């Protein structure tokens, strides 16, 4: 299907190109047909310009396409990196929690060990003093010493003091143990 314009239209189109440098463009140029030599020249020139413009546009569009592709690839890479960073952060956070827990356990262990040593020493002292005083009392009784009343009073006083002290130590130990457990569970709750 070919299109033929009137002579007047052809003249006006040529005039527009000469005076205002305006040319027809696009596929319509491939459909126009003429017997007018000057309009044929115009069509040839318009087609040439159109081809140049299309080539330029094609090159630019291809460049844009390439840039788009590389941008998309970079965006995908960035996304992947972000995922990896998030995973690494989660792992680090987990490692930190584990280390803190381990430290807490170690601290509690050393505290319990210390408490255990104190208890052992205190009990040994109490038992030692108790045995010595009881021995002295028994010795005084068997040797029919006149000082049994005094030693007896001293023994009962000492034993009372020792028992009081031992209960006091046990109470302190229980208190320390309770406080340690309580602060530990609070920390765990805070972490959660």
Helix%, strand%, coil% for the chain, nearest 5: 90, 0, 10
Decide if 107 contacts 132 (C-beta within 8 A): no
CB of 35 to another protein, least distance (A): 22
Find, among 66, 30, 177, 163, the residue nearest to 114 by Cα.
177
Q: Which one, 51 or 76, has the nearer CB to another protein?
A: 51
Instruction: Give the one residue of 22, 58, 105, 163 binding another protein; rule: CB under 8 A.
Output: 58
Instruction: Give the one residue of 3, 4, 48, 54 binding another protein; rule: CB under 8 A.
Output: 54
Q: Which one, 54 or 91, has the nearer CB to another protein?
A: 54
CB of 28 to another protein, least distance (A): 9
Asked if 2 touches another protein (CB under 8 A), the answer is no
Among the listed ranges 63-71, 113-121, 132-140, 165-173, the one in contact with another protein (CB under 8 A) is 63-71
Residue for token pair 């005039």: 15
The set of residues, in sequence order, having a beta carbon less than 8 Å from that of 110 and lying 6+ positions away, is: none
Decide if 159 contacts 128 (C-beta within 8 A): no
Asked if 61 touches another protein (CB under 8 A), the answer is yes
Asked if 31 touches another protein (CB under 8 A), the answer is yes
Asked if 71 touches another protein (CB under 8 A), the answer is no
Instruction: Give the one residue of 22, 30, 33, 128 binding another protein; rule: CB under 8 A.
Output: 30
**CA separation (Å) from 147 to 108, 135, 153, 154?**
49, 14, 10, 10
Among the listed ranges 62-70, 92-100, 162-170, 171-179, the one in contact with another protein (CB under 8 A) is 62-70
Q: d(Cα 162, Cα 168) in Å, to the nearest integer?
A: 10
Give contact residues for another protein (rule: CB under 8 A): 26-27, 30-31, 51, 54-55, 57-58, 61-62, 64-66, 68
């Amino acid at each position: 299907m070919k299109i033929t314009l009137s002579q007047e239209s052809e003249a006006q189109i040529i005039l527009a190109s000469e005076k205002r440098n305006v040319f027809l463009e696009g596929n319509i140029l491939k459909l126009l047909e003429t017997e007018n030599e000057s309009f044929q020249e115009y069509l040839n020139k318009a087609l040439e310009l159109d081809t140049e413009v299309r080539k330029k546009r094609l090159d630019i569009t291809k460049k844009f396409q390439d840039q788009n592709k590389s941008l998309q690839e970079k965006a995908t890479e960035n996304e992947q990196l972000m995922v990896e960073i998030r995973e690494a952060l989660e792992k680090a956070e987990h490692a930190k929690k584990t280390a803190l827990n381990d430290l807490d356990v170690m601290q509690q262990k050393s505290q319990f060990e210390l408490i255990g040593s104190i208890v052992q020493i205190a009990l040994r002292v109490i038992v030692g003093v108790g045995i010595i005083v009881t021995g002295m009392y028994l010795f005084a009784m068997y040797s029919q010493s006149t000082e049994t009343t005094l030693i007896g009073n001293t023994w009962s006083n000492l034993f009372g003091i020792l028992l009081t002290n031992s209960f006091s130590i046990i109470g302190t130990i229980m208190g320390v143990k309770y406080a340690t457990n309580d602060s530990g569970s609070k920390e765990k709750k805070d972490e959660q």
